[in-house]
């Protein structure tokens, strides 16, 4: 079960063109295409006649033409042409989904269109800041339920074992996590004092010696994670006042779109407070971050298999944030379903 009254990332903007683009998301088959003015359209990917996916058709002007019998549907989902018929059948209509582009991605609202508000899409103030560099990121499919990924993204402790050569460090072991809750989601975080800089970050920090490191993992509803990494010279780490001038900041944005109950499409990009126009740095980020996410993918796909076969017998202290997120999500889905049934 999924929360449908929410914005999910459907595709990277670069993947959507005048050629129909099929995506499955939240158990819905959707087709994306661009109008002549460049705006993105999202429609139900199924012709109501013989249920051929409309993504197997073609874009004609601003309409989508079925590749079987030539029915054409406009941007609202209404059939505007039905060859060989005097009158367009009333049932010749497909669902239209609100769609918008932001941050190089196409966002689609999967629930009640009347509730769609683009202001609900996460606001990233550094996106257009010339002092911040952007790693445009990518997407991958992960063969597991999205909630196992939200578990992972609310668990800073896993990096010690899963990402030993990149994000991890033995200095992280045993340091307790703080958990805070807001209307938007759950955040887990901790400061680690006077420790060695982890391997991935050593290439970029501007200071020498040990650091104070903050791990901050925020998961927003329905499944959007903001992971902030802070590295500052040892003895200078604080949540009060300004950061040290040599602070390293990286915000990793991770957007999970359930495909079905056992498959998730994972989109990401990062922002950094240094080398804003350095393509070489962006390339290193691309390669190293993808390598780390592939490590997560291997673990999570094995977790899905293991949980299907055996379930779990215990929880750890590090699970506090993820369990709270699951409870809150479950309540939101139940409330949405109750409202739909009323």
Q: Which domains does the chain have, with CATH numbers?
A: 7-119 (2.102.10.10), 126-338 (3.90.380.10)
Q: What does the alpha-carbon distance between residue 269 and residue 251 come to, in Å, rounded to a whole number?
A: 9
Mean pLDDT over residues 283-303, rounded?
A: 91
CA–CA distance, 15 with 206 (Å, rounded to integer): 36
Going by C-alpha positions, the residue among 183, 208, 180, 133 that lies closest to residue 321 is 180
**171-175 mean pLDDT:** 76
Mean pLDDT of the chain: 94
CA distance 294 to 288: 10
Whole-number pLDDT of residue 203: 87
Nearest Cα to Cα of residue 142 among 301, 322, 299, 302: 301
- For residue 245, the model assigns a pLDDT of 96
d(CA 87, CA 89): 6
For 27: left if phi > 0, alpha if psi spans -120 to 50, otherwise beta; the answer is left
Look at residue 166 in the predicted model and tell me its pLDDT: 66
At residue 165, the pLDDT reads: 65
- HSE value, Cβ hemisphere, 13 Å, CA-based, for 74: 5
| Lowest-pLDDT choice from 119-123, 141-145, 233-237, 285-289 | 285-289
Does the CA dihedral 181-198-168-227 come out positive or negative?
Answer: positive
Phi and psi at residue 330, to the nearest 5°: -60, -40
Q: Can you tell me the distance from the alpha carbon of 63 to that of 94, in angstroms, rounded to the nearest whole number?
A: 12
pLDDT given at position 74: 98
Q: How far, in Å, CA of 71 to CA of 310, rounded?
A: 49
Closest listed residue to residue 144, CA positions, set 323, 304, 311, 306: 304
Q: How long is the chain? A: 342
Number of C-beta neighbours around residue 273 at 10 A: 17
Q: Does residue 1 carry a pLDDT above 90?
A: no
The answer on pLDDT for 70 being more than 80 is yes
Alpha-carbon distance of 155 to 152, in angstroms, equals 5
CA distances from 100 to 107, 111, 149, 246 (A): 5, 15, 25, 37
Task: Report pLDDT for 214.
Answer: 95
Sign of CA dihedral 179, 2, 334, 224: positive
DSSP class of residue 17 equals: S
What pTM was estimated for this model as a whole? 0.95
């Amino acid at each position: 079960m999924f929360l449908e009254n929410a914005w999910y990332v459907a595709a990277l903007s670069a993947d959507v063109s005048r050629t129909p683009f099929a995506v499955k998301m939240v158990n819905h088959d959707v087709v994306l295409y661009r109008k002549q003015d460049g705006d993105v359209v999202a429609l139900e990917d199924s012709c109501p006649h013989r249920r051929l996916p409309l993504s197997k058709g073609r874009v004609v002007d601003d309409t989508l033409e079925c590749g079987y019998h030539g029915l054409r549907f406009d941007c609202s989902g209404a059939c505007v042409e039905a060859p060989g018929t005097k009158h367009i059948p009333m049932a010749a209509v497909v669902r239209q989904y609100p769609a918008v582009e932001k941050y190089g991605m196409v966002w689609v609202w999967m629930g009640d269109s009347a509730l769609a508000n683009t202001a609900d899409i996460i606001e990233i103030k550094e996106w257009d800041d010339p002092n911040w560099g952007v790693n445009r990121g990518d997407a991958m499919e992960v063969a597991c339920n999205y909630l196992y990924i939200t578990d992972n993204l609310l668990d800073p402790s896993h990096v010690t074992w899963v990402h030993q050569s990149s994000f991890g460090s033995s200095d992280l072991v045993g340091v307790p996590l703080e958990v805070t809750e807001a209307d938007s989601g759950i955040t887990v975080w901790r400061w680690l004092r006077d420790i060695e800089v982890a391997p991935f970050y050593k290439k970029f920090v501007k200071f020498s010696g040990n650091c104070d490191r903050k791990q901050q993992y925020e998961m927003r509803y329905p499944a959007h994670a903001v992971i902030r990494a802070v590295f500052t010279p040892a003895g200078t780490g604080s949540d009060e006042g300004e950061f040290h001038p040599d602070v390293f900041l990286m915000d990793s944005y991770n957007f999970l779109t359930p495909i079905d109950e056992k498959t998730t499409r994972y989109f990401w990009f990062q922002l950094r407070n240094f080398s804003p126009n350095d393509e070489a740095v962006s390339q290193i980020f691309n390669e190293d971050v993808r390598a780390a996410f592939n490590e997560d993918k291997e673990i999570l796909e094995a977790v899905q298999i293991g949980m299907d076969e055996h379930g779990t017998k215990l929880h750890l202290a590090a699970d506090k944030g993820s369990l709270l997120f699951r409870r809150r999500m479950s309540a939101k889905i139940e409330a949405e379903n109750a409202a739909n049934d009323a």
